[in-house]
Amino acid sequence: MSVAVTKLKSGINVVTDTMAHLETASLGVWVNAGSRDERRDEHGISHFLEHMAFKGTRRRSARQIAEEIEAVGGDLNAATGAETTAYYARVLKPDVPLALDVLADILSEPAFDREELAREQNVIVQEIGAVADTPDDLIFEHLQDVAFPDQPLGRSILGTPKTVRSFDGAKLRDYLARNYRGPDMVVAAAGAVDHEAVVAEVEQRFSSFNGAASPVPEPASFGGGSHVEKRDLEQVHIALALSGVPQTDPTLYSLQAFTNVLGGGMSSRLFQEAREKRGLCYSIYSFHMAYSDVGMFGLYAGTDAADTSELMRLVVDEIANTAETLSEPEIARAKAQMKAGLLMALESSGERIGQLARQMIVYGRPLAIDELVAKVEAVTVENARAAGRALLRRGKLATAMLGLGSGLESAAAIAESLTRRAA
């Protein structure tokens, strides 16, 4: 594999990975802007803009955008996050110029037709309603809000029906002009691509994206607290979070290993103890989300109302015990999982462009696989335990609970005991 990077005069970084054995290519545009870059009256506009980009340009209708890509057997999609928005395509080798032209067109010349705006507002309001009807999605919206209260990072990426219906073409163009600028954009391509050819296409088609870098969002801070909501559900849904670490923190890989040992798969402590041994739940897992300046360690479980308190006691005990008793075989298993994830991503052009784009945004350069593997290999039992203990010492806990039963409040109180153990 051959990775190459070129920074254009506009500030756009073009990064490619030529995979000579492939006849297809994945390519996309990553913008270093997402929901945390929104002003209060723009709540949900990043996601809405992502939808509207596909609803017509000055040169193409929404139907033409879809048909041109699908006529050559390709596909086109996008995703909005808290800190980035991505637009990407997969096509056959000869159709790379077409894909880049369509991607440039939807971002530089969106029409924002009034009828399309109204239709897509209805679609997204329905999407918001679907999340409200899906408790194992809704619980994470509540958790994010409690973890980062009164901050853009704590708000739902989707917005609210009120804010979504307030967006018009002028507001979308203002957000686009403020945040979609060359220095904050990465064009990534992998597979059957030629670096110089991709650079030439991007230089020509993305020339309108220039100017200074977009404003840096306000720093985020982990808050903490509890959200308990009584709803008539078959299960009680539990989520908790502790303050984690940002993307460039030197302890990131150690914390990820701790997270994997605790609840990262079927062999994890929580899965084995809570599900396999005690039958307290069907789903339970832990995770860590790293942002540019903060992080969030989290845990989710769904259980019967009668088992809520017992499960929470188990969770509190396992988190605290793992930080003290995590073993060498567990670390070896966690490191193998982490390395496999990194190496498997190299086999997929779609995974590869996401990996490269994120590295360019976070580190300003692509990271060699040997460098990434070395970071994983550097994790030891002691620094993984230290990462777990540091979670508890930060002292702030966010909990969200959804369901029925008298045990919700007591479970929330049990969760609070977690941070007291490190006091």
Under a CB-based contact definition with an 8 Å cutoff, are residues 18 and 96 in contact? no
Catalytic residues: 50
Under a CB-based contact definition with an 8 Å cutoff, are residues 34 and 85 in contact? yes
3-state class (DSSP) for residue 111:
coil
Tokens of residue 19, six digits: 């995979």
Phi/psi region, residue 244 (left: phi>0; alpha: psi -120 to 50; beta: rest), is beta
Residue appearing with tokens 């969770």 = 315
Q: What is the DSSP letter of 380?
A: -
DSSP string, 62-102: HHHHHHHHHTTT-EEEEEE-SS-EEEEEEEEGGGHHHHHHH
State the Cα–Cα distance between residues 123 and 103, nearest whole angstrom: 22
Closest by CA position to 1, among listed 286, 396, 392, 369 = 369
Q: Angle CA(20)–CA(25)–CA(28) in degrees, nearest 5?
A: 135
**With the C-alpha atoms ordered 172, 174, 178, 180, is the resulting torsion angle positive or negative?**
positive
328 Cβ neighbours under 8 A, 6+ residues apart:
381
**With the C-alpha atoms ordered 102, 106, 107, 110, is the resulting torsion angle positive or negative?**
positive
**Radius of gyration from C-alpha coordinates of the chain:** 23
State the Cα–Cα distance between residues 28 and 14, nearest whole angstrom: 10
Please state, in angstroms and as integers, the Cα–Cα distance from residue 200 to each residue in 8, 28, 91, 307, 330, following that order.
10, 15, 18, 61, 48
